């Protein structure tokens, strides 16, 4: 997903993603960080400010598990707006379906690993 978020998309629109990482707390077993992503959602050109909490588990000095969470309703309202944002923010299946479609369109080889 990061490759998709940071690269030029299939229609030639470059990423304008800005990320602020803050409140990093970690020990040898686990960690947590807050990330604030700001960008224009390329499909709609709408500005998005997305607050993400990322938690990590470490094993042998490496990340063994990472889980990101954000407010999907807020993200969809900003990125999509209107009825589509309302539905996508509340129905996880719709968000996953759209994300998978975008990956398959813009990164068709992403599923060949």
The dihedral sign for the CA sequence 53, 57, 61, 62: negative
Domain(s) labelled CATH 3.10.450.50 in the chain stretch across 16-70
What is the reported pTM?
Answer: 0.70
**pLDDT tens across 6-21, in order?**
667 666 777 788 999 9
pLDDT per residue as tens digits for the range 72-108? 888 888 988 887 777 777 777 766 776 666 666 665 5
16-70 CATH: 3.10.450.50
Q: How far apart are CA 17 and CA 25, in angstroms?
A: 24
Contact 44, 79 (CB under 8 A): yes
């Amino acid at each position: 997903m990061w490759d998709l978020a940071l690269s030029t998309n299939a229609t030639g629109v470059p990423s304008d993603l800005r990320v602020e990482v803050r409140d990093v707390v970690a020990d040898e077993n686990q960690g947590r960080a807050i990330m604030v992503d700001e960008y224009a959602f390329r499909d709609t050109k709408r500005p998005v400010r997305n607050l993400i909490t990322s938690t990590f588990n470490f094993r042998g000095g490496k990340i063994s598990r990472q889980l990101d969470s954000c407010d999907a309703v807020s993200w969809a309202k900003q990125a999509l707006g209107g009825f589509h944002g309302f539905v996508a923010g509340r129905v996880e299946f719709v968000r996953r379906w759209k994300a998978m479609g975008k990956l398959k369109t813009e990164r068709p080889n992403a599923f060949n690993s």
